[in-house]
Structure 1
Amino acid sequence: MNAKISSITQNFRRDCPRYGASVETLVHTLKDCPTARAILTLGGLDGRLLNKDYLCCINWIEDAMCLLDKKAIVDFITTLWNSWNNRNNYIFHGKKEEAQVIWDRAITLC
């Protein structure tokens, strides 16, 4: 996401603020970032969706929709939402939470 913002705004960092990936993309933020990966692994997402490389986030979500049943997709999207909120809380408020806390919050919503 920082890559997109930096294309619009000058002097904006393109790298991942938590783990220093060279360019923070949506795929990195929701799937490849170590915290996001830990949250998804706690949620039971297996290697079929975690280990494949994706250029576009929509391709990853489409693959998830093909592999998971309807209830699992609802849990998946809720988990992504909570992971995104965790990222924003870290960036904008300096609040860092463990993956287990984020997963517990997501499962409570489901």
Structure 2
Amino acid sequence: MPVLPKIRIFGWRLGQGAVPVGDKVKAAGLGEGTCKLCEKHIETILHAMRVCSKVQEVLITSGMDSLMPQGPFRDCFEWLEASHSVMSSEQFAFLIVLLWNIWNRRNRWIHTGQHIPARLVAEYAQLVHGDYQ
């Protein structure tokens, strides 16, 4: 996949379920597991990358939402696999870059309280993806 190595590794971690989200925090007894962005649902990887209303804002703003298959999906791997099957290689590579930026936005909100608008997340993903190409 033509993306930065650290983003490629992040995409692999998404598919493997190796990303520290709320349900994993709850299972470890370290918190309640609720999504810190929408504060409504238990945060799974699929929720953090696709289902959360705050994430959907970014996906819609970027234009990727209309390219993605609709659920339901059991997990993030199933969703990514379905997305890969309906997108071109270029579109899927951009999706992974966008998800990496969504993850960074989420972490910035949790750790510093800084909210980055959906438009800026989508624009930055385009810049990162375009620069690497």
Length-normalised TM-score, structure 1: 0.90
1:65 and 2:84 matched: yes
The aligned counterpart of 1:109 is 128
State how many pairs are aligned: 109
Q: Is the 8 A contact 2:49 2:55 kept in 1?
A: yes
User: Can you give the 5+ residue segments of structure 1 that lack an aligned partner in the other structure?
Assistant: none
Superposed displacement of residue 31, structure 1: 0.4
Q: Is the 8 A contact 2:101 2:125 kept in 1?
A: yes
The aligned counterpart of 2:116 is 97
Moved more, 80-89 or 18-27: 18-27
**1:6-17 correspondence to structure 2 within 5 Å:** 6-10=26-30, 12-17=31-36
1:3 and 2:23 matched: yes
The aligned counterpart of 1:40 is 59
- Cα deviation per residue 1:17-71 (whole Å; 9 max; x = unaligned)? 1211231111111001122111111222245636422220000000111000011
Q: Which runs of 4+ in 1 moved over 2 A?
A: 45-51
Root mean square deviation of aligned Cα? 1.5
Secondary structure of the residue aligned to 1:71 is helix
From the superposition, tell whether residues 22 and 56 of structure 1 become closer, same or farther in structure 2 (CA, over 3 Å).
same
From the superposition, tell whether residues 22 and 46 of structure 1 become closer, same or farther in structure 2 (CA, over 3 Å).
closer
Q: Which has the higher contact order (CA 8 A, sep 6+)?
A: 2
Length-normalised TM-score, structure 2: 0.75
From the superposition, tell whether residues 85 and 93 of structure 1 become closer, same or farther in structure 2 (CA, over 3 Å).
same
Moved more, 83-92 or 13-22: 13-22
